[in-house]
Amino acid sequence: MSFVVRIRGLPFSANADDIINFFKDCTIRGGKRGIYFPQGPNGRSNGEAFIELDSKDDKEKAMAHHNEHMGRRYIEVFDSCSEELNNAMGSRPFSSPNRREHVVRLRGLPYDTEKKEIYAFFNGLEIAPNGIGLLVDHMGRCTGEAYVQFTSSESLARAKEKHMEKIGHRYIEIFESTMLEANITIQRQLEINQSRSSSGGPMFGRASRDGHPGGMGYCYGPRGGYDGPPFSPNASGPNRVPVPGRFTPYGRPPHLFGHPGYSSPPRGFRWSFSLKGI
């Protein structure tokens, strides 16, 4: 049985330590690992959090803190449940039949994260071949999220135990996920990248190279070179010609996973999505 409360009205700067201090007379299951921060549509904190308590008595103590202060803010405390927690965090319950997919979502990654840091974070666990999907923005920076696919239920369970452990100075949140959620998130980020790159201006700080002003040549970002305008996959050498479409002269947005080639499909989970939808 789970003992969950939802709190509302948090300062936007609130972190897990603040919540532990607020509920100092309660035992939070797993310490910081039992604290979850949902995000609003803009990707920022929405002032809410979910807390898993260790017992019914701890939950009753937590409820007694309703309308107490954290800093200058009144904190509302509501009864909740595991289902509401999972819905708010955008993941399926751990008992989901989709568990066989062995996928987790990471949130809170440093913006300079590369795949090697994620491999190191899950050292000793069996990650599927090409099983890390690291989302990047239109500037080639990590968005703070990634999806990882493991090869077994055992590795998945051990991965979830690392919830709220650190990469660098950042606490990493880990949620069980599904292929469907991953595809939807990828598609959404792809559309955001395309929208921002089409607004004009170079996508990267170094907008031009090799005498191609305005970023018409190769644009270089944190993960290496990205070709300029997309080219016909059926041509080569001097016969390669720009493909007409909605991409701007500043180059096609970098692939979500930092893959340097545009003509090859994204690797990792064998994602099945297109520019027009999933």
- Residue 149 inside a domain? The answer is yes
Residue 118 CB partners (closer than 8 Å, separation 6+): 106, 109, 132, 134, 146, 148, 167
**Total domains, the chain:** 2
| Alpha carbon of residue 53 to chain centroid | 25
Tell me, yes or no, whether 81 and 134 share the same domain. no
Q: What is the pLDDT of residue 164?
A: 93
Give the confidence band of 44 by pLDDT, cuts at 50, 70, 90.
Answer: low
Considering the domain architecture, whether residues 65 and 116 belong to the same structural domain is answered as no
The vertex-84 CA angle with 143 and 31, nearest 5°, equals 70
Q: Would you give the distance in Å from CA 103 to the centre of its chain? A: 13
Q: Which of 114, 82, 134, 75 is nearest to 267 (CA)?
A: 134
Say what the pLDDT of residue 96 is: 41
Verify that 51 and 80 share a domain, yes or no. yes
pLDDT tens by residue, 246-278: 333 333 333 444 433 333 333 444 433 322 232
Q: Is residue 198 part of a domain?
A: no
Residue 129, pLDDT score: 86
Instruction: Please identify, among 88, 107, 135, the residue that sits at the C-terminal boundary of a domain.
Output: 88
- With respect to residue 236, please indicate whether it lies within any of the assigned structural domains: no
Mean pLDDT of 11-15: 85
Q: Report pLDDT for 116.
A: 94
Question: In this structure, are 102 and 153 located in the same domain?
Answer: yes
Parent domain of 104: 97-187
> Is the pLDDT reported for residue 220 higher than 50?
no
Residues 51-103: tens digit of each pLDDT: 999 999 999 999 999 999 999 899 999 999 988 888 887 654 443 443 467 89
pTM greater than 0.75: no
Same domain? For 70 and 109 the reply is no
For residues 257 and 134, give the distance between their C-alpha atoms in angstroms, rounded to a whole number: 5
Regarding whether 101 and 47 lie in a shared domain, the answer is no
Whole-angstrom distance, CA of residue 247 vs CA of residue 230? 8
Q: Taking residues 199-208, report their average pLDDT.
A: 40
**Does the residue 244 lie in any domain?**
no
Both 105 and 178 in one domain: the answer is: yes
Any long-range contacts for 227-234 (C-beta under 8 Å, 24+ apart)?
Answer: 227/251, 227/252, 227/262, 228/252, 230/262, 231/262, 231/263, 233/263
pLDDT at 3 over 70: yes
151-189 pLDDT tens trace:
988 899 999 999 999 999 999 999 988 877 877 787 788
**Both 70 and 102 in a single domain?**
no
CATH classification of the domain holding 116: 3.30.70.330
Sign of CA dihedral 139, 142, 147, 148: positive
**203 in a domain, yes or no?**
no
Type of residue found at 74 = Y
Does residue 43 register a pLDDT over 80?
Answer: no
Would you state the pLDDT for residue 90? 66
Residue 232 CB neighbours (<10 A): 12
